[in-house]
Amino acid sequence: MSNRVVWVTGAAFAAAVAMATPASAQSAAPTFTKDVAPIFYKSCVKCHRTGESAPMSLMTYEEARPWARSIKTRVVGREMPPWHIDRNIGIQKFKDDPSLSDAEIQTVAKWVDAGAPRGNPSDLPPAPTFASNNEWQIGKPDLIVRYPVYKMPAASPDHFGSLYTKLDLTEDRYIKAVETRPVGEKSRKVVHHALTFTVSPDAAESQSDGDDSVSDGGQFLVEYASGKNAEVYPDGSGVLLKKGEKARLSYHTHSWGEDTYMEVEVGMKLYPKGYVPPKVRWSKQLAQPTAPIDVPPGTVARSDGYVFMHKPAKIIAFQPHLHLLGTRQCLELIYPTTGASARTEVVNCINFNNSWHLSYNYQDDVAPIVPAGTVLHNIQWHDNTAGNPRASDPRNWVGNGNRTVDEMGFFWLGWIELTDEEYRKELAERQARNKDRTATTQQQ
C-alpha cells in the first residue's frame, strides 16, 4: 500500500491493543478474516507480499496487524492503494482502477478502531495465488526486452544516457499492451524515468542529453517513471514493431547512497502474426507550460500549457508528469466554439504524488471524444513550501530542469485518430447511450 510507511513500535502496538473496545462492541466490529482480508486480497497484496515492491506483506493477520494504524492513515487519506484521481471531478471509469470504495475504506477504519481483531479463522477466504513474484500486470508477455545492466554510483549527479539491445522479431508485429519495469527494488530506487524507442539496426548508438521531447527519428513505444503501471490499448489499436530493428532505452537515474546495478525490462503483449490493427495508438508528452516554471521559495505556483488537436481523436490514457514539488494537475478540454456556444470541460484532476506516475486508462465507453480544433489545457500546481514533505528545501527557488530536484510539468497522452465520419458516428452513439442511461435513472 505504500513505499513510505512508518514502523509501528512495540509500545505503539501495546497502546493500540489497550485501546481496544469492549468485547460486546468488538463482536459487531469488522474482523480481519471476514471483512478486511477480502479487501487486502483484492486491492493490496499484488504488491504487499513477500518479494514484491511494497515494504511489507499483508497476506496474513500476523503480517498485517502491526501496521494497522498506518494502514488506516493511508487508506482513509486515499494514499493507498495508489490512485490519485479527484473523485469529485470528471470521468471516473478506468480499466485498471484499484482504489477502494467508500464502504471498503470505512470497513478498514472501523476494524482498526476496534483494535484490529482477527476474527474466526474459518471466515478467512482462500488467499490469492500468483504465478510468481515476477508476475506482469499485462499477463505473460509475448516479448520481453531486457536492456544491458547499468551501474549508478552511490553518490553522483543525475545520469542521462541510452542503452541499446536487439529485438528478436522475424516479422513485423503490433503491440496491444506494454509494461516497463525496473528489475528489483534497488533498480526501482535509482530510475527516475526510462523511455523505450525502436531505431533502425544501423542507427548510431548516441547518448541522451535528458531531453526526451524528441526521439531522434526513432519510433516511440512507452514511457516509464516511478511507480508507472501498464498501458493497455483498446481493441483494434496498436503500435508497430518492425523486424530487424533494435530497442533504445533513454534513461534518467539518480543516486541513493549505494552503488546500484540498474536493469530495466519491457514486456509486450502482441497481436497475432499478420494482424494489422486499423488504428495506430499514439502517445506523446504534451502541453508544456507556455512560460518557464517559476516557483519562488515558500510559494505554491500555477502554470498552464496548451496543445491543439488537428484531427478528431479519442483520448484513451492520461498520465501527469511533474517532479517533487508537483501536487496537482488537471486536463481541460476547450472545444472549438465561440461566443455564447463556447464550452470547456474538465476531464480529470489528479492529486499528484511523485512516487506514483500512474497512467489512467479510460474505459472504452467513456474515453473522451474530441473534434478537430479542440485545445487540451494543462493546469498544474507546484508546492515549494514547508508543508510539502517532498520539497527539497523550500528556502530555494525552483525552476525548469531535467534533474529530479528541478521541475517539469506536462502530461503524457495516449490517443487514436478518428476520421470526421468516425467522430460523428461515435459521438452520436455516445450521446444516445447517455440519453438512455439518464432516462433509465429517472424511471428508477
What local confidence, expressed as pLDDT, does residue 442 receive?
43
Average pLDDT of the residues in 89-115: 94
Q: Which bin fits 105, alpha (ψ -120 to 50), beta or left (φ > 0)? A: alpha
> Is residue 158 scored above 50 in pLDDT?
yes
Which amino acid makes up residue 9? T
Rounded Cα distance between 71 and 76, Å, is: 8
| Helix segments in 21-168, DSSP class H | 23-26, 37-43, 61-64, 68-76, 102-113
What local confidence, expressed as pLDDT, does residue 10 receive?
42
Give 26's pLDDT tier (boundaries 50, 70, 90).
very low
> Is residue 4 scored above 80 in pLDDT?
no
What local confidence, expressed as pLDDT, does residue 50 receive?
83
Average pLDDT of the residues in 351-378: 93
Predicted confidence (pLDDT) per residue in 221-265, tens digit:
999 988 888 888 989 999 999 999 999 999 999 999 999 999 999
Angle between helix axes 68-76 and 102-113 (nearest 10 degrees) is: 150
What local confidence, expressed as pLDDT, does residue 433 receive?
87
What local confidence, expressed as pLDDT, does residue 168 receive?
84
Rounded Cα distance between 325 and 34, Å, is: 41
Helix (H, G, I), strand (E, B), or coil: what is residue 94? strand
* Residue 182, beta-bridge partner list: 264
> Is residue 11 scored above 60 in pLDDT?
no
Give 13's pLDDT tier (boundaries 50, 70, 90).
very low
Q: How many CB atoms lie within 10 A of CB 70?
A: 19
Identify which has the larger pLDDT, 306 or 95.
306
Identify which has the larger pLDDT, 437 or 288.
288
Rounded Cα distance between 228 and 412, Å, is: 12
Predicted confidence (pLDDT) per residue in 318-356, tens digit:
999 999 999 999 999 999 986 666 799 999 999 999 888
User: Which of these, 144, 91, 115, 401, lies nearest to 270 by C-alpha position?
Assistant: 144
Identify which has the larger pLDDT, 339 or 188.
188
Cα 427 to Cα 277, 333, 374: the distances in Å are 22, 16, 15
Give 27's pLDDT tier (boundaries 50, 70, 90).
low
Identify which has the larger pLDDT, 22 or 37.
37
What local confidence, expressed as pLDDT, does residue 16 receive?
45
pTM above 0.85, yes or no: no
What local confidence, expressed as pLDDT, does residue 439 receive?
53
What local confidence, expressed as pLDDT, does residue 135 receive?
79
> What is the average pLDDT value for the chain, to the nearest integer?
87
Give 25's pLDDT tier (boundaries 50, 70, 90).
very low
Q: What percent of the chain has pLDDT over 70?
A: 88
